[in-house]
Chain A
Amino acid sequence: MEEVDKILIHALRQVGTEVGEDIDRVNQFTSELIVEAVVKCIRVIDPGLGGALPTSLPPGMSARFRVGMSLAQACQDIGYKGEIGYQTFLYSNEPEIRSLLMFLVEKLPRESSETSDQPTGKSAVLHRAIAAAITAQLAVSWVPLNCRLPLHCKTQSKAASHSFHVHPLSLPHCTKGQKSLKEVKHYQRDILFPVTAQFPSQTSMVSSILEQHTAELSNAQEWDTEWKSQGLLSRLTPQEYHSRKLTRLRKRIEEQLRSAAALGSAPSDLILTKGTHFTHTQKFTFTQEVAALTSPVHTGRQLEGDTQPRQQEELAFLQQQFQQLCSDVEQIAADMKHISVTNAQVFDELKQMELDNVENDEKMQVKKKTIDLLPDADSNLQKLQSQVEASANRVVNLASQWEKHRAPLIEEHRTLKEFCSSKDLESSRKLSEIKSLHEKIQVATEEAKKKEELYKQLVTELESLPQDVSRSAYTQRILEIVGNIKKQKEEISKILSDTKELQKEINSLTGKLDRSFAVTDELVFKDAKKDESVRKSYKYLAALHENCNLLIQTIEDTGTILREIRDLEEQIETENCNKTVANLERILDDYKVIRQENSTLAAKVREG
């Protein structure tokens, strides 16, 4: 009970009730204290209800009575199911008060206890203040300069905004394993400016760095995803994969350029036009654009003035030149055509002659050999034939020998290939396993990160939690109590089972007793009719049975009475705690006071 009281008092102190330092048990609470505690609790639980209630009892008895009733009503409104009335507050007794206070403390909302729980840690306060300020600032959305309220001015700068201008950075790349030249190193170390000094104007610094960083980051991420998805599957090393990708892209670029060039050079309508008909003479006929031959301008007009003949002379001269040029151009065009055609012809002739040469060469060889063999034609013919047959046989022989070598090799090749493909299956399975492992690793690292952060957070929170109320002590006690209760439960169940056993035994014994008595009774009674001594023994038996029954009865009664005594003693104890006598006296006094008040009020009413 003491711990419960301690917890209750502590909770009440937190709510704001001024419980004196020396009070540590609920039965030391006075009515005023009770009322104050209850009202403060109700105010926290339900401000609407609690606002109307006073924290202290007024002096007048009837007012007190009224306050008591309203408090009881409020408690019932909150949800207290027990019996409650004005008497609980004015004439209190310990168990009722304890249960009521426990109910109210339980109903207290949790945050209130928490927020009033962290007063002291300075760094905790600072942290929380910073976090709150930053969240508030981030929550404010960015607004252009003209629309800004004072709220925005604190966090959004008034300087003119600059356009996002990116300036390329020159960063020394530290590529692993690659030896950079001495000059490059020297350049990077001594001459290259640091990043912050590489910009023409400060405004582009942030944007350029951001751009560079995001580019690198997205590059790395893309490479990561590509490698994980396609690169691993292709089973090449990263360098090989890179180089293959490069050649593939180059080829594609070449194709695109070629098709674009082809489209560009020849107008598109010429290559892929629809079919023609012979009647469409346009396509087939020779459409040569004859260079416009200007007909000589006949100056049939009358010459007027001196300048006219000179002009006409010039004109005629120019026309002549022009005609000359035109005919030259024609001539050259015709020449070109002629030359290209003759070129084709010559090329053709050349090729033909080359081929003829080769053919004639071969023929000559054969003829030469034949002529050599001609003198002894028949025998040579025979010899040739036999030689041909012999070489044919030899070739066939060689072929069969070669086949003996070749077949097992091909067989081996095929079996190795099969083996390879089965290995492929395995390796692809392993690859997929690796992929899933990668994913799991990623997930696990993320989770670990989160948990670490959470852990740090919780550790700081734990440090900032108040040390005065040692929850661990309470939890220990609670666990102890639970253990005790468990033990007690066990013992109770043991006792119950013992009791059951005993009862069973008693029952069986009683039964046995009855049965044996019945049997003896019959037996003896049978003989009792005949024999006097047996009759006497029968009487003794009956008396014995009677007395024993009485004994047993008395024992049972004693037991019952003892139990009653125990119950009554318990009741006496509880009633003693109720301080009923004191309360009764107070009630009587208050009753007298109320009667007096009533009479004074009645007198006042009669007078006025």
Chain B
Amino acid sequence: MLSVGLIEKDVNGDTLWVWCYPSISPELRDLLLSKCCLTQDSRDFHTLVFGQFSRTWYYITTVEVQEPTALNKVTHFSIAVTAKDFNPEKYAALSGILCRMYIKHGSPVKMMEAYITVLTKGICQNDENGSFLIKDYDVRKAYLAGSIKDVVSQFGMETIILYTALMLKKRIVVHHPRIEALLEFTRVLPALTWHRKDWYILHPYVHLTDAELEDLKKCPGYIAGFVDPEVSNRSDLFDVFVSLPDSVITVSQGAKEAMTMGKLHKDIAQVIVQSAEDAERSDSQVIKDISIKTKEVLTNLFALADECEDSKITLEVLKQHHFPPATENFLFHLAAAEQLLRI
């Protein structure tokens, strides 16, 4: 965990950043204020919102203050927790505890005590006669918490486009007007490339501001979720555009060449769909199946690499095997993504 901050909305309609520990840079502060649903004009109230900025995860929990409390003149408040790891459930639970403490005592001091105990000891007393233990919240559980089956059921065979884009470290942009749907959908996508276990490519909640887009451009491949429908015009930001409400996946012109698919893809797609449609298999089992298939492909690739000197593949080596052109292209780009290409 890195820091915790408190944002309050008072009876005058102002949203202020009232308190934070230990300290948060002004840039991050502005970002968190913009992400907090209290600053946005629409009256949507989101209990939990999380996102990533510069490899820092932030989790914002918002609570409406019901009278009577020790907090007067405050109508809503949000607790923003920043951390290095991706674990929405853990931080949601922690924020819940902190929120309740704040409401009860009306002062952030108690909240801070709890935060420090969690920081130093990894455990904190829950006011509901339990305790919050960090080790209850394993990161793997967070990774597997999303539902891959829903993704497959929404897109069917087109899920292979997402799979290919993720394998080749391309830029995916997802759009949905509701933030909760966006968060739920995007958090499970990195699971398609389970062998990397890199959730830093996930930026589930991005606005079209310069600072955030700069940060996004630093990553070679990412999954970015936008609530703003304007993003569909920004073809400079994506290789694959997913419009969730319409269930449409579009590949941008520049990336079409790299994303061509062949028989190999069809195989993989079938595996994915079959596994997801099987009612007896759970989400984690589906992910396991996909990862097994991925491993197959990667093993083949490594085998090819081993044949060459200094275990780096070149295009000529690939050509020697006379793969079908789509597969050859895919393997070539995959090698680049897995850093197997000779430079």
Residue of A nearest to B333 (CB): A341
How close is B175's CB to chain A, nearest CB, in angstroms? 12
CA distance A274 to B251 in the complex (A): 11
User: How far in angstroms is the closest Cβ of chain A from B212?
Assistant: 17
Let me know if A338 is at the binding interface, CB within 8 A: yes
Contacting residues, chain B, for A276 (C-beta < 8 A): 158, 249
Contact across chains for B251 and A283 when beta carbons are under 8 A apart: yes
Query: CB-nearest residue of chain B relative to A255?
Result: B230
Chain B residues positioned under 8 Å from A278 (CB to CB): 157-158, 160, 266, 269
What are 20 residue pairs bridging A and B, where the CB atoms are less than 8 Å apart in the complex? A262-B234, A271-B253, A278-B269, A283-B256, A284-B326, A341-B333, A341-B341, A342-B343, A344-B220, A345-B339, A351-B220, A389-B120, A392-B117, A396-B116, A399-B21, A399-B108, A410-B18, A411-B73, A413-B16, A414-B10
Other-chain residue from A271, A400, A411 in contact with B232 (beta carbon distance below 8 A) = A271
Complex CA distance for A270 and B257, rounded to whole angstroms: 13
A414 to B234, CA, bound (A): 41
Report the nearest A residue to B258, measured CB to CB. Answer: A341
Measured CA separation A277–B160 after assembly (Å) = 11
Q: Does B122 contact A (CB under 8 A)?
A: no
**Are B169 and A396 in touch, CB under 8 angstroms?**
no
A262 vs B234: C-alpha distance in the bound complex, in angstroms? 8
A608 to chain B, nearest CB (A): 119
B18 to chain A, nearest CB (A): 6
Mark out the residues of chain B between 111 and 166 whose CB falls within 8 Å of any chain A CB in the assembled complex: 112-113, 116-117, 120, 157-158, 160
A217 at the interface (CB under 8 A from B): no
**Chain B 331-343: CB-based contact to A (< 8 A → 1; otherwise 0):** 0110011010101
Contact call B12/A417, Cβ cutoff below 8 A: yes
Q: Within A340-388, which residues are at the interface with B (CB < 8 Å)? A: 341-342, 344-349, 351-352, 388
> Of the candidates B14, B19, B169, B339, which one forms a contact with A406 in the assembled complex, judged by CB atoms under 8 Å apart?
B19
Chain B residues within an 8 Å CB radius of A411: 73
Whether the Cβ atoms of B343 and A285 lie closer than 8 Å is no
A576 within 8 Å of B by Cβ?
A: no
- B73–A342 touching, CB < 8 Å: no
**Could you tell me the distance between the alpha carbons of A399 and B76 in the complex, rounded to whole angstroms?**
22
Measured as residues with beta carbon below 8 angstroms from the partner, the interface class of chain A is 35 or more
Question: Contact string, A264-286, partner B, CB cutoff 8 A, digits 1/0?
Answer: 00100011111111100001111
Which A254-312 residues have a C-beta within 8 angstroms of B?
A: 258-259, 262, 266, 270-278, 283-288
Q: Is B69 an interface residue (CB 8 A)?
A: no
B interface, how many residues as a size bin?
35 or more
The interface residues of chain B lying within 8 Å CB-to-CB of A275 are 158, 246-249
A403 interface neighbour in B109, B120, B219, Cβ under 8 Å? B109
Least Cβ distance of A462 to chain B in Å? 65
Nearest CB in chain A to that of B343: its residue: A342
A284 B261 Cβ-Cβ under 8 A: yes
In the bound complex, CA of A334 to CA of B109 (Å): 63
Q: Closest Cβ of chain A: how far from B332's Cβ, in Å? A: 7
Query: Could you say which residues of chain A place their CB within 8 Å of the CB of B232?
Result: 271-272
Is A345 touching B343 in the complex (CB atoms < 8 A)? yes
Q: A338-B315, A342-B341, A417-B14 are in contact. Are A271 and B252 (CB under 8 A)?
A: yes
A531 located at the interface, meaning its Cβ lies under 8 Å from any Cβ of chain B in the complex: no
Chain A neighbourhood of B269, CB < 8 A:
278
Asked if A600 lies at the interface with its beta carbon under 8 angstroms from chain B, I say no
Chain B CB within 8 A of A421 CB: yes
Known contacts: A278-B158, A285-B262. The answer to whether A414 contacts B112 by CB under 8 A is no
Is A418 positioned at the interface, with any CB of B under 8 Å from its CB? yes
Closest to A416 in B: B12
In the complex the two chains form, is B116's CB within 8 Å of A348's CB?
A: no
Mask for A24-62, Cβ within 8 A of B = 1, else 0? Answer: 000000000000000000000000000000000000000
Which residues of chain A have C-beta atoms less than 8 A from B336's C-beta? 341-342, 344-345
Q: Does any Cβ of B come within 8 Å of A593's Cβ?
A: no
Q: C-beta contact mask, B284-322 vs A, less than 8 Å → 1, else 0?
A: 000000000000000000000000000000010000000
Chain A proximity of B161: nearest CB distance (Å): 8
- The 8 A CB mask of A70-113 against B (1 = contact, 0 = none) is 00000000000000000000000000000000000000000000
